[in-house]
Each structure stands twice: as structure tokens, then as C-alpha cells.
């Protein structure tokens, strides 16, 4: 919701009416950052859910908070400069891989161990 509000504020600030998605470079960076975060959200929620159910809720929750923090840093970095998104992007990808590993480990333990 925070990212969507930032897009709304940028639209107002730069006078870019929907459905336009181009205009001022600052608006375009904010818009792309919001869209990129939205694209990854279903993957994140799915992995968080499976890791929480089959591995451990506390560990999954900690990873979820870390992921949300890295995406916030990604959004802030991308909003200021396109190169500012790279380090947080890689960090959030590592957290997603960790959640994937936890989910797979939990599923394997659940279905393969007696």
C-alpha cells in the first residue's frame, strides 16, 4: 500500500494522469519500483506460507520481515536512482532463495520422514 501511495503522490507531483505510465523520470522510477515489487509479491507470499506451515513459523516470519525490509530499501533506492536498486534487489533475491530452501526442506521432512 505504501508503494501504491507513492505512485499516486508522484502522479500528482508531476501531473501524470492515469493510464499514462511515462513522463518525468522520477515518476517512471517510482512507478517501475512499485510494479516490480508487485510482480514478486505472489512468489513471496507463496514461499512464506509454505515455509511457515511446513518448516517453522518463527523462522519464516523473520525471513518475511527481512524480505519486506529489503523491498522497502529497493523501492527507496530505485526512486532516487536506477542504480540504487541493485544491492537491495540482490538481498531480496537471497531471502527468496532462503524461503524456497526452507519450504522445500519442510515439505521433504513432512512427506518423506515417518
Catalytic residue, chosen from 11, 29, 71, 85, is 85
DSSP 82: G
Q: How far apart are CA 102 and CA 108, in angstroms?
A: 10
Among 44, 32, 35, which residue's Cα sits nearest to residue 68? Answer: 44
Grid coordinates of 55: 518448516
DSSP 84: G
Query: For this structure, is 12 an active site residue?
Result: yes
Contact 100, 50 (CB under 8 A): no
Among 105, 59, 55, which residue's Cα sits nearest to residue 67? Answer: 59
Query: For this structure, is 85 an active site residue?
Result: yes
Catalytic residue, chosen from 11, 12, 20, 32, is 12
Annotated catalytic sites, by residue? 12, 85
Amino acid at each position: 500500500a505504501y508503494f501504491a501511495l507513492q505512485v499516486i503522490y508522484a502522479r500528482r507531483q508531476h501531473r501524470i494522469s492515469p493510464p499514462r505510465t511515462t513522463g518525468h523520470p522520477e515518476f517512471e522510477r517510482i512507478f517501475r519500483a512499485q510494479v516490480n515489487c508487485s510482480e514478486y509479491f505472489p512468489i513471496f507470499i507463496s514461499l512464506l506460507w509454505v515455509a511457515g506451515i511446513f518448516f517453522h513459523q518463527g523462522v519464516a516470519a523473520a525471513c518475511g520481515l527481512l524480505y519486506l525490509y529489503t523491498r522497502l530499501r529497493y523501492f527507496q533506492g530505485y526512486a532516487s536512482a536506477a542504480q540504487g536498486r541493485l544491492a537491495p534487489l540482490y538481498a531480496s533475491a537471497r531471502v527468496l532463495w532462503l524461503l524456497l530452501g526452507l519450504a522445500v526442506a519442510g515439505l521433504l521432512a513432512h512427506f518423506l520422514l515417518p
